[in-house]
């Protein structure tokens, strides 16, 4: 996984090239949003299906998980609402790179992961996924091999729950948050079953 760690660090250039959008400020100390990472590699063709991160509504259970993790009351936890997050996606052959930027006035704090499926799950050419976090956002790397025509497609289907904290309230939640670049997950095939559902910073 050393290659994945190097790649995740290297793609921090995307953060420098793409600043967070200027948007209206939220009243919530902590905001939650979800992204789906779903690159699909078709077998032996020049066509690829790429899911480059789909924002989903925040569910009630996610809010409860965040309240427990942060020890925070309901009124300081909210969804994106009118805020926006920005993603940058790049596909190069069997590899994909995505950076998820935090809304203006917020910093990345922690993330939860739910890996729905990863194919292939075994062998030297099993699919790979890595996620890194830093105050500016999260960076995602995937490697999905182009398989032989009779072997079918390969993919990673990963859902990420992200908690961002208001920059001027960061010290209040520092012990719960990421304070510098950190590799959150880095795994291959059937080695990607854990950890899931935990807040990682």
Q: Does a structural domain hold residue 8?
A: yes
Evaluate if pTM is beyond 0.85: no
**Alpha-carbon distance 85 to 94, whole Å?**
26
Range of the domain at 167: 2-19+29-192
Q: Does a structural domain hold residue 200?
A: no
pLDDT at position 57: 55
What is the chain's pLDDT, residue by residue, as a tens digit (201 residues)? 555 554 454 444 334 334 343 333 457 899 898 888 888 877 644 444 433 334 455 667 888 889 899 998 888 888 766 565 678 888 999 999 999 999 889 999 999 988 889 999 999 999 999 999 999 999 999 999 998 888 889 999 999 999 999 999 999 999 999 888 999 999 999 888 656 678 898
pLDDT at position 79: 75
Q: Does a structural domain hold residue 101?
A: yes
Q: Does a structural domain hold residue 197?
A: no
**Alpha-carbon distance 173 to 29, whole Å?**
10
Q: Does a structural domain hold residue 123?
A: yes
Q: Does a structural domain hold residue 198?
A: no
Task: Count how many domains the chain has.
Answer: 1
Peptide linkage before 59 cis (omega within 30 of 0): no
Q: How far is CA 38 from the centre of its chain?
A: 11
Q: Does a structural domain hold residue 175?
A: yes
């Amino acid at each position: 996984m050393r290659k994945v760690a190097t790649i995740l660090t290297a793609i921090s250039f995307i953060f420098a090239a793409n600043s967070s959008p200027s948007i209206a400020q939220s009243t919530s100390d902590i905001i939650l949003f979800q992204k789906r990472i779903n690159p699909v590699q078709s077998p032996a063709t020049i066509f690829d299906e790429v899911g480059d991160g789909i924002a989903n509504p925040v569910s009630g259970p996610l809010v409860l998980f965040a309240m427990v993790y942060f020890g925070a009351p309901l009124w300081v936890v909210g969804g994106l609402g009118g805020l926006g997050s920005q993603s940058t996606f790049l596909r190069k052959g069997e590899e994909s790179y995505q950076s998820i930027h935090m809304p203006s006035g917020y910093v990345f704090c922690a993330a939860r992961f739910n890996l729905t499926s990863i194919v292939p799950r075994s062998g030297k050419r099993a699919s790979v996924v890595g996620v890194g976090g830093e105050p500016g956002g999260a960076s995602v790397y995937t490697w999905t091999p182009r398989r032989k025509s009779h072997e079918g497609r390969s993919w990673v289907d990963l859902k990420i729950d992200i908690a961002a904290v208001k920059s001027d309230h960061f010290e209040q939640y520092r012990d719960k948050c990421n304070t510098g670049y950190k590799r959150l997950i880095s795994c291959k095939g059937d080695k990607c079953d854990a950890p899931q559902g935990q807040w990682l910073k």
